[in-house]
Amino acid sequence: MHDDTRHVAKRVERILLERIVPAVYRETTPLQMAVWHVPGEPVPVAEALSATYEPFTTGTRWGRPWSTSWFRLTGEVPAAWAGQRVEAVIDLGFVGDWPGNQAEGLVHTADGVPVKGVAPRNQYVPIARPATGGEQVDLLLEAAANPDILAKGMLPTPLGHPDTAGSDPIYTFEKADLAVLDEEVYALQLDVEVARELAEELAVGDPRRAELLFALERCVDALDLADVSRTASAARAALAPALAKPATASAHVVSAAGHAHIDSAWLWPLRETMRKNSRTFSNVAALAEEYPDLVFACSSAQQYAWTQERYPVVFERIKKAIAAGTWAPVGGQWVEADGNLPGGEALARQIVVGTKFFREQLDVEPHGVWLPDSFGYTAAYPQLARLAGFDWFLTQKISWNETNTFPHHSFWWEGIDGSRIFTHFPPADTYNGNFDGAELAHIVKNFQDKGRATTSLYPFGHGDGGGGPTREMVEKARRTADLEGSPRVVIEHPDDFFARAQAEYVDAPVWSGELYLELHRGTYTSQARTKRGNRRSEHLLREAELWATAAAVGAGASYPEADLDALWKTVLLHQFHDILPGSSIAWVHRQAEETYGRVAAELGALVEGAAASLASGGGLSLLNTAPLPFRGVALLPAGTSGPDDGESGQRLADGRTAVLAAVDAQSASPLGAGDVAVLGVSVERDEPGTVLDNGVLRVVVDGDGLLPSITDVTTGRELVAPGHRANLLQLHTDFPKYWDAWDVDAHYRRQVVDLVSAESVEVVDAGPLVASVKVVRTFGESRVEQLLVLRAGSDRLEVETEVDWHEREKMLKAAFPLHVHADRFSSEIQFGHVARPTHTNTSWDAARFEVAAHRWVHVAEPGFGVVVANDSTYGHDVTRSATGGGPGQPAVTATTVRLSLLRAPRVPDPEADQGTHRFTYAVAPAATPREALRHGYELNLPVRAVAGAVSVPSVAATTSGDALVESVRLADDGSGDVLLRVYEPTGASTSSTLRLGFPSASVHVADLHGTALTGERAEELPVSGAGDVQLLLGPFQVLTLRVRRP
């Protein structure tokens, strides 16, 4: 027999698209329309109900970018439609085929109750099933004219901010009809799609493929193309036997969960996400009522909180769906945060704050981390998740790797402390599944763990405002639940999938260390002001909590729980994986800058208020929030009164005052308290240039303002590699092949200009407490001013930098070629550090050409090392070069650490990073990571000057061993208990003494949330009369303690 399967396939395809699909809506009649264009920002429905509407017709242009229009749609169901299923069908003028990132709408009843969202692939609104005829239809439609930011691809656009987006209407309202849904034709459409899609994915010689194609041929043979409605049942009957054959016993099991990945901000502002939530959540709540077998997985406590506040009716529907088992809150975090950049305590609070909302507002206990779309995942995650009581972790983003294919889909992920969590990557390689045959087939073919595991998870639904899962998807899930040639599909809660997957694959392979995404490396650097705002906010929150706790336990002051909770939630929100990484539109990042300014002001006021509660007189005091004691020269802000006698104080050229200070860890002392003896710092002119020398560090600044020599005086070791100069600013062309704000591609290294020439190099402070040299450089349209600062007694050279940045598609780096032979380097991450290679032995090594680090990067050889620390930079690269070698001549190795200071991408924000930036980085000898972290703390948590005489012993600090106290706060349950977060930072087991600076009744080990462990895990730690608690911590262990006060 001749093979005509190709002919059959094309015939079926045409009939489906040109006859069956158009016949789904058998009859239509237009609705009457009226419009009110909101003059400014979106308004509540109550205001729309009382507005004045004007006549409107389809085919009319509407909606300037980012505007809102309200439409009143009225009509009557024709009497002839009695007994039929009637829907409204609305097309706002949808463009392209992207289900989100364009016009969207939310339909309300006439009295303002949300009903359902409309989006490109979800245009219907239920009216009657069945209709009786004569029903009056009165709908209120809120329509958002969100522009399609990427309509022209990855090109700069002014649409990302309302000030530049223009005022002309951008959409044409295409349709607002009542329609009869022909349920038999609709079912035929779904039958044909399932059979056709399955056949397309089977091998050409597979008998099942031929069976399906010829069943489809019989199906369309039975169809009268001039009267699809009348013959749909016969066509379905012809196809039914082929769709009734069960799946094989060995068929892969696809655990499907409805999903709608809604970015909390991205190509739209935060305020639009709140509305996207309402539309999608309304859709899903309605769908769940129609399809009780649906399970919708939804993360992000913040998005639930917005809905609870702004759309309480929708929130109540969500709670009803949760009770019915059709809605599955997952993830337990406040938002789906970036997986690399949040600090340790912030990452813990993402879980703590998010889980608290799930428990209190949704009556749900989350069991896993749901992070499908972050740009890599820190090796601190397994421990934090397990400490929170979580059992599983999910992402699919690593499937985006450009270089290497990750070898597993189900595995145990091991963190830096040794904690392991069962982890799954959905093999569909998407979190927005369309539920078609191609994706189901890809799941089976792609699954890496065949023969050892039999099941995988499949998130399906349109995200980012596209409306979530559709009825078509659920119908297809039903048809593929037990179908020969297809994997078995079961819709279920992700918890059920993970329980089954882990039980069958207990001996799954182990992946140790970070989940590094071999893509989107530019997100470590883009939008530097956003990143600086995050870093400053994290440390200010630490300060505010510590001193508010000190004031509460020491002076009986009221603890500002509500204020701190609100500020934490604001900071956590801005750690979302398109805000903190710098990959959102201009509107998002301009608002973020304003928000971080407000957060800083409010937290500063809380610190000052707490200090005032603790003050007992006049004068000036210093607060040390860091977990390590400070001994040395502190810098007081300009305008702060302080000694300037040249011995205990020095007025600097910029108005700041340098003072000698001695403050214990996490304590406060009046200025001048404690003895500090340091050698002064001197400035000398020498042949190479200017020499700064404090007896600990000797720094040579040459005529170009570069550093040919930094000498550790105590050891005699040179930090700078021979023949090199440190603090070399390098300007790279930065034009990645795909996504501007997201990516840094390896080819950037081949296009570089060394910024050697200086406009000026001058000494501005000459000791005895501070010596500094000011270096000014200009290049392109930009200007850099750097202050090279050496303090008396300090082993750290600080580089205070201000950049007026006006480059385009460039990246600015600062290079430190170090005289250290290191094949690996350490990068600080949350609650510890990771080691990464300086070489490119393997493709996995080579792919890590840009990495994220927090406050420091450390390179070392036995007995000697160097730290490069920063106060707001995350992107780094570390490479190694060698010269010399041979008989009688040792090879000379240079390990170069470079900080990625600034980028200038143009998409999606064409003005990204333009303007003024201020940041500080530093270099110092440090033999071990333990020494390195001191510099990170001192740079990010400098002592703070406050008014009044404040004398507070260490609130809670370690006095021996390597453990450090990372956070101190009151429990949020009103008990007055103090919660401490302690961690081991070096990677070695430690015995440490914790000293409490306040009376305690008991100390219990707690989970990440601060709840004391119970049952067999309960552990109470004895407290000595001096308030000492002995701690035993494993490498990188994080320990939460709950301290009950008398």
Task: Note the Cα 724 to chain centre separation in Å.
Answer: 38
Confidence of residue 3 (pLDDT cuts 50, 70, 90): low
Per-chain mean pLDDT for the chain: 97
CA angle 324, 326, 328 (to 5 degrees): 110
For the cut 70, the answer to whether the pLDDT of residue 46 exceeds it is yes
Residue 191 is predicted with a pLDDT of: 99
Q: What's the rounded mean pLDDT across residues 976-986?
A: 99
| Residue the block writes with tokens 């739209």 | 268
CATH of domain 251-519: 3.20.110.10
β 296-298/327-329 pair status: parallel
Residue 686 is predicted with a pLDDT of: 80
Q: What distance in Å separates the CA atoms of residue 189 and residue 192, rounded to the nearest whole number?
A: 5
For the cut 70, the answer to whether the pLDDT of residue 1 exceeds it is no
Rounded to the nearest 10 degrees, what angle do helices 183-201 and 471-479 cross at?
60
> Which position has the higher pLDDT, 598 or 674?
598
Q: What distance in Å separates the CA atoms of residue 590 and residue 596, rounded to the nearest whole number?
A: 10
Residue 2 is predicted with a pLDDT of: 60
Residue 648 is predicted with a pLDDT of: 81
pLDDT in tens, 745-794: 999 999 999 999 999 999 999 999 999 999 999 999 999 999 999 999 99
* Among the ranges given (196-200, 282-286, 882-886), the one the predictor scored with the smallest mean pLDDT: 882-886
- Residues forming CATH 2.70.98.30 domain(s) in the chain: 682-939
Residue 592 is predicted with a pLDDT of: 99
pLDDT in tens, 81-122: 999 999 999 999 999 768 888 999 999 999 999 999 999 999
Give 682-939's CATH code, choosing from 2.70.98.30, 3.40.50.720, 2.40.10.480, 3.40.50.300: 2.70.98.30
Tokens of 866: 């160097």
E strands, 188-288, are 253-259
- Residues forming CATH 1.20.1270.50 domain(s) in the chain: 522-612
For the cut 90, the answer to whether the pLDDT of residue 885 exceeds it is no
Q: How far is CA 706 from CA 546, 700, 729, 801, 924, in A?
A: 40, 8, 9, 14, 16
- Is 631 within 8 Å of 676 (Cβ atoms)? yes
Q: Is the dihedral of CA 488, 491, 497, 500 positive or negative?
A: negative
For the cut 80, the answer to whether the pLDDT of residue 664 exceeds it is yes
The count of other CB atoms within 10 Å of the CB of residue 479 is 19
N residues, the chain: 1046
Percent of the chain with pLDDT over 70: 100
Q: What distance in Å separates the CA atoms of residue 454 and residue 247, rounded to the nearest whole number?
A: 14
Tokens of 265: 């901000």
Give 522-612's CATH code, choosing from 3.30.2000.10, 1.10.1200.10, 1.20.1270.50, 3.40.50.20: 1.20.1270.50
Residue 1009 φ then ψ, to 5°: -80, -15
- Residues forming CATH 2.60.40.1180 domain(s) in the chain: 955-1046
Global confidence as pTM: 0.98
Residue 5 is predicted with a pLDDT of: 80
Q: What's the rounded mean pLDDT across residues 954-981?
A: 97
pLDDT in tens, 326-379: 999 999 999 999 999 999 999 999 999 999 999 999 999 999 999 999 999 999
Q: What's the rounded mean pLDDT across residues 572-589?
A: 99
Residue 640 is predicted with a pLDDT of: 86
Give the DSSP H/E element, type plus range, for residue 551: helix 528-555
Rounded to the nearest 10 degrees, what angle do helices 344-362 and 561-573 cross at?
110
Q: What distance in Å separates the CA atoms of residue 641 and residue 396, rounded to the nearest whole number?
A: 55
Question: Which of 177, 263, 293, 373 is an active site residue?
Answer: 373
pLDDT in tens, 642-661: 887 767 899 999 999 999 99
Residue 675 is predicted with a pLDDT of: 78
- Residues forming CATH 3.20.110.10 domain(s) in the chain: 251-519
> Which position has the higher pLDDT, 891 or 629?
629
Close Cβ partners of 605 (under 8 Å, ≥ 6 residues apart) = none
> Which position has the higher pLDDT, 146 or 674?
146
Name the CATH superfamily, with its identifier, for domain 955-1046.
Answer: Golgi alpha-mannosidase II (2.60.40.1180)
Q: Is 373 labeled as catalytic in the residue annotation?
A: yes
pLDDT in tens, 790-843: 999 999 999 999 999 999 999 999 999 999 999 999 999 999 999 999 999 999
Q: What's the rounded mean pLDDT across residues 144-169?
A: 96
